[in-house]
């Protein structure tokens, strides 16, 4: 009997993305229902923004205020303890490299969830620095010094560059983007399409 192919969702993410926080929460029940596996791909959004000369905080004040209000609606709808941190935006490259480093200890998903919780729920902007990330490593049972050393290694630095470039080559332009096969779904409000693609009932395939 031929075994059915594994269902996989590739999630391109960045620590500084509000919508990535929600996507990580909202994808979980879909993974449970479909038996799909989540594969995390750190994507250095700050680097991409700089390359395209895009500055988030230069958006019109009315648009930015509406973004914040919309996030509050999502938090209320799904009963999530989200709050905008006092320090925003932050540099995320260290946290992103940390996620790759944590693969060595098979703790990538736990680490990402801990980092996102710290920043988007507890107003902890220290995760932009190793002072905050080392605490998370220790909480996960990883030696903080070993974690920082691996995160700063040339291997991991190159891995983040490669992960970002591979995303760009695939057509990723922002986060969160969830890929199922050749289909890319951008944003926290595309979960129905993601589930349909996993179940083979998606109607938009090209």
Query: Which CATH number covers residue 105?
Result: 3.40.30.10
Which residues constitute the domain of residue 18?
8-199
**Residue 152 pLDDT grade (very low, low, confident, very high; cuts 50, 70, 90):** very high
Residues 6+ apart with CB under 8 A from 45: 14, 16, 17, 92, 174, 175
| Better pLDDT: 195 or 56 | 195
Q: What is the pLDDT of residues 22-38, one digit of tens each?
A: 999 999 999 999 999 99
Gyration radius of the chain over CA positions: 17
DSSP E strand stretches across the chain: 8-13, 37-42, 177-180, 183-186
What pLDDT sits at residue 90? 94
Q: Is the pLDDT of residue 162 over 80?
A: yes
What Cα–Cα distance (Å) separates residue 13 from each residue in 10, 16, 117, 155, 202?
10, 9, 14, 20, 23
Does pLDDT of 114 surpass 70? yes
Q: What is the β-pairing status of strands 177-180 and 37-42? A: unpaired
Residue 2 lies in a domain: no
Would 204 be classed as within a structural domain?
no
> How many domains would you assign to the chain?
1
Of 15, 196, 33, the closest CA to residue 24 belongs to: 15
């Amino acid at each position: 009997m031929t075994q059915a192919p594994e269902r996989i969702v590739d999630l391109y993410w960045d620590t500084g993305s509000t919508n990535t926080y929600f996507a990580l929460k909202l994808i979980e029940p879909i993974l449970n229902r479909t038996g799909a596996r989540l594969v995390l791909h750190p994507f250095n959004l700050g680097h991409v923004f700089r390359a395209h000369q895009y500055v988030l905080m230069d958006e019109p004040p009315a648009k930015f205020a509406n973004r914040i209000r919309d996030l509050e609606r999502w938090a209320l709808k799904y009963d999530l303890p989200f709050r905008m941190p006092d320090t925003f935006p932050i540099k995320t490259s260290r946290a992103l490299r940390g996620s790759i480093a944590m693969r060595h200890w098979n703790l990538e998903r736990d680490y990402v969830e801990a980092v996102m919780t710290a920043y988007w729920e507890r107003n902890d902007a220290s995760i932009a620095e190793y002072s905050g990330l080392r605490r998370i490593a220790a909480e996960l049972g990883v030696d903080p010094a070993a974690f920082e050393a691996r995160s700063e290694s040339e291997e991991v630095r190159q891995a983040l560059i490669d992960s970002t470039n591979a995303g760009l080559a695939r057509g990723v332009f922002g986060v969160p983007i969830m890929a199922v096969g050749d289909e890319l779904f951008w944003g926290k409000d595309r979960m129905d399409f993601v589930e349909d693609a996993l179940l083979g009932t998606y109607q938009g395939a090209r």
